[in-house]
Amino acid sequence: MKKANSKANPKVSPQRSSPSPTRALAYQNNPDEDERRHWDYHYDQIGVAPGTLVIDEDASPTEITLIDYSATTATRQKLGSPEEAAIHLDSHSISWIDLQGLGNEDVLNRLGSVFNLHPLVLEDVVNVPQRPKVEYYADQVLIITRMVMMAPNSHPHDPEFTSEQLSFVLGKNYLLTVQEELNQDCLDPVRDRIRQNVGRIRSQGADYLAYALLDAVIDAYFPVLETYGEYIESLEDEVIFNPTRQTVQKIYRARRQLMSLRRSIWPQRNALNQLIRDGSSELITAESRVYLQDCYDHVVQVLDIVETYRELTANLMDVYLSSVSNRMNEVMKTLTVISSIFIPLTFIVGVYGMNFNSQTSPWNMPELNAYWGYPICWAVMIAIALALSYYFWHQGWFEDTASKISKS
């Protein structure tokens, strides 16, 4: 269901827009806000007119790049204005118009006029983030997806990824892509294939180009998940051998990030399934749907890995609690052993520390005046300590406790 129809001041932005991935450093001191940028979708305030554009004040400047190719030639150039792309919409070659940056509202509106975009289409590609989806229009297909990459400041011991919306508007002989940021995507392999004429991409239509870009977006999830897999392995070792309070925070943060990845990839599976099953649009050929099926298989693999890692992080919390409990039990066992050895010694010292004089009463302590009383007392206490130590060692308490305490 689309937005309610009413009047709104376009100069006022009542909606909330998600922060840009390039501003991730601003949220390092606020983990909740840092995670929220991956979770929240864009929403409108009640009463906002459909098609109202919300431009983030920190959005990147808008740049437009054209890649025009055929089976024999391929050219790439920067476009100074959206109107320069108009002549390529009806050409016999395939035109890929890549818009990066959402900071210029005038350019975005003119782009919508040149490509004859429905106001709701322009709203979906500009007001980010939107849920990944597929929508069919008269002579266009709108595809919204999310691409993820490791953040530039990411560290193996503290991984962080960036998430960015990538929108496709597929026409007869052209493909319009809209990105949030400048020069921050995972599409260079497709650009290289077009430039070097590798594979069959230059002999196919715009729908095959859309498939190639979708496939690149999905494949970019695997390096991210590989990084998180190694990170979870390090967390397992930390939970077993050296659990600390920071360990709980690391597990919780990893679980939230994996949930964000799942939130990004799950709706893309439904969108791809719709592209494969729905044959109502002639813009996507039956041959391209076969390739999209392979892309769908990759999405399923990503989802399986994400679900597996989420279960591992959930189990890590249980292992952490068990590890802390076992460590506390070993500490208590050590204290019990020490107390058990010193309790009889304390009793003997307490009795002979009363200092009763044996000359005033026959019931007083004659050992106080014994010539060998002091060394005999020491000998008895040492014998008791050695006997108890041997008993605990024979029971295996010393060996198990010492080894576990040394590991912790």
First to last CA, the chain: 57
Q: How far is CA 93 from CA 191, 203, 221, in A?
A: 16, 10, 31
Q: Does residue 162 sit within a domain?
A: no
Q: Does residue 349 sit within a domain?
A: yes
Q: Does residue 174 sit within a domain?
A: no
The long-range contacts involving 312-320, CB below 8 angstroms and separated by at least 24 positions, are 312/232, 312/236, 313/232, 313/235, 313/251, 313/254, 313/255, 313/258, 314/255, 316/232, 316/235, 316/236, 316/239, 316/251, 317/248, 317/251, 319/236, 319/239, 319/240, 320/239, 320/243, 320/247, 320/248, 320/251
CB 277 within 8 A of CB 136: no
Domain count, the chain: 1
- Predicted TM-score (pTM) of the model is 0.74
CATH number at residue 383: 1.20.58.340
Question: DSSP state, 78?
Answer: E
pLDDT on residue 350:
81
State the Cα–Cα distance between residues 306 and 322, nearest whole angstrom: 25
State the Cα–Cα distance between residues 272 and 211, nearest whole angstrom: 10
Q: Does residue 400 sit within a domain?
A: yes
The residue segments making up the domain with residue 349 are 327-407
Q: Does residue 204 sit within a domain?
A: no
State the Cα–Cα distance between residues 399 and 395, nearest whole angstrom: 9
pLDDT on residue 138:
86
* Average pLDDT of adjacent 10-residue blocks, the chain of 408 residues: 37 38 40 50 68 83 94 94 90 94 93 93 90 92 94 86 94 94 91 94 95 96 94 90 86 91 92 87 91 94 94 88 79 82 84 68 69 82 87 72 50
Q: Does residue 379 sit within a domain?
A: yes
Q: Does residue 361 sit within a domain?
A: yes
Chain centroid, CA 214 distance in Å: 20
